[in-house]
Amino acid sequence: MTSRKPDDDIPAAGERASLEQLVRWRRDVRRFKRDPVPEALVEELLRLADLAPSVGNSQPWRIVNVGDADLRAKLARNFEAARTRAGEGYSGDRADLYGRLKLAGLDAAPVHLAIFCDHGVLQGHGLGRHTMPETLDHSCACMVTVLWLAAREAGLGLGWVSIVDPSEVAKMLGVPPDWKFVGYLLLGWPEEEHLDPELERHGWQPRTAFETRYFTAGVSPLGREAKSPRPAEENGAGKVTLVGAGPGDPELLTLKALYALQSADAVLFDDLVAKPILDLIRPGARLIDVGKRGYRKSCKQPDINAQMVALAREGLNVVRLKSGDPLIFGRAGEEIEACEDAGIAISVVPGVTSAQGAAANLKVSLTNRDHARRLQFITAHDRHGTLPKDIDWSAVADSAATTVVYMPKRTLSELTQIALVHGLDPKTPAIAVANATRPDERVFISTIGAIAAVLDAAHPEGPVLVMIGEALRYATARDAAKQGRDIAVAHGVLPEKS
C-alpha cells in the first residue's frame, strides 16, 4: 500500500492522532502544494519544537527562515550542483534510479528553514558535553524530530534537504562562524500522502527488520550475526582506503599503509607518489595514474571520485594513494564525501607529511622551544591556482611561529612580498626543499626576503615546500653543511663567529 485510503488507520478530521500514528506517518515530504502556510501556524510549530530536549538545556539550534526569493534561488542552484556531483558516484541502474528520484521540494514548498547548531553556545555551561561535544548536534536532531511530528499533527509535511554544500549555505545566509549547518527544512501542505517512504517505494533501499538493530549486552557479540549489513556489503561493493604515501622515501611508509598496498585490488595514485612506493603494491593489482599535479593537466577531481566509487562497486578493495598525508592539502574531504554519499565504506591511513620529512633530513626542530610557539601549514594556491585571499598574514608575520608553505612555486614571490608588508622581518630564515626525502632532494637555505629569487633561479623540478621561521636559524642542508652556512651568513641569517 502506497497511498492513503479511507480505511487506513488515519485519524478523521478533528480527531487527535496518536503518537504511533504520527510516527508512522512521519515521512520525508518532497511534493508540496504551493498553498501558503499561515505565519501564526509556523510560529506555533517552531515554538513547540523549541521545547525539545537538549544536552544541559543548551538549546543550541538556530532556525533561519529563508523567505527571500533570491536566496532561495541560490540555494536551489546549490542543491542542483550537489545533486549532480553526488550522481556521478553512481552507475548503471542505480544511476538511472537516482536521476528519477525527487530529492527536494524547493520549488513548491512555501516555508524554507535553515537549521544550524551553535557550537559556541554558552547556555548550559557545558553540562553533559565535555566528554561528548557532539551531543549539541544530537540536540538539534531532537528539535527537528519534534518539529516533524508537530507538523504532521497539523496536517503539514516536512522535508529535510541534505544534498547541499554546508559551507556555501552558511556563507549565503551570513551566519556566525560557530554555527554548524544541520539541514535545510521544507514545510508545507503535502501534495500526496503515502504509508511508505519514497526511497523504499521506488526501490532505492527497503527498511530492514527491527531485530537487526536490537542487541542485548552480554548475550552475544554485538554488531556481528544480528547486525544489519552495510549497504555497500549488501550490494556486493568493496571498500576504499585513502593511504598517505609520505614524502617519497619508501622507508617512511607506515606498516598500515604497506598492508593496504599489499592487499589492494586497484590503486589510484598521484604523479607525486615516488616509484619505489609503487613497487610495493601487490602484484596483479590494477594501477591507475590519476595524475593530480599542480598547474599541469590532471584528472578532474569529480572523475577521480567517480572512478574510485565505480571500482568499489565492482567489489574491489580500492586504495587511493596520495603523496604525504591525505588529510593535509590532499583533497581527502571531497573523496571521503563521494564514498559516503555512494554508501561505500572508506577509511584513512595517515602518512608522514612532506614538512616532517624535510625537517627530519635537515635535523631541525620546527617547534624549537626557544624560537617557536606555533607550527602552521598553509597552502600557496587556491582552487584557481592563485594565492588564497584569506591567508592570515599577521599569523605568517608572527616571529614566534614556524610556517610551512605547501605548493608555493608560482605564488612564492607574491606571498613573501605581502608577508614583508605585514611586518615579517626580511632576514627571517627560509628554507625551500624540493623532492623532500628522495634521492634527488634539493635544499635552498636563504631568508624570506630572498628565497623567492633563489628558488626562481634554481627552478627545481618536483614538489616544493618552503619553511619559514626563527626555528630554522641553525638548520643546515644534509651533506652540505658548509654550503648551507655560507649561504646563511651571506644573507645575514647566522652571525659570523669572531
Positions marked catalytic:
270, 292, 407
What single DSSP character describes residue 209? -
* CA distances, 322 to each of 109, 275, 332 (Å): 43, 12, 9
Q: Which residues contact 57 (CB under 8 A, 6 or more apart)?
A: 123, 124, 127
What is 24-46 written as a DSSP string? HT--B---B--PPPPHHHHHHHH
The owner of cell 605581502 is 418
Closest CA to 353 of 482, 481, 236, 249: 249
Cα separation, 66 vs 63, in Å, equals: 9
End-to-end CA distance of the chain: 93
* Residue of 95, 96, 94, 139 lying closest to 116 (CA atoms): 139
Please check whether residue 59 is in contact with residue 115, taking contact to mean a CB–CB distance below 8 angstroms. no
Consecutive H or E run containing 316: none
3-class secondary-structure state, position 10: coil
Distance of CA 127 to CAs 58, 123, 303, 366, Å? 8, 9, 45, 38
| Whole-number Å distance between alpha carbons of 317 and 379 | 31
* CA–CA separation, 448 and 444 (whole Å): 12
Quote the DSSP letter at residue 3.
Answer: S
Q: Where are the extended beta strands (E) located within 147-233?
A: 157-161, 179-188
Alpha-carbon gap, residue 15 to 456, rounded angstroms: 79
Q: Are strands 442-447 and 286-289 parallel, antiparallel or unpaired?
A: unpaired
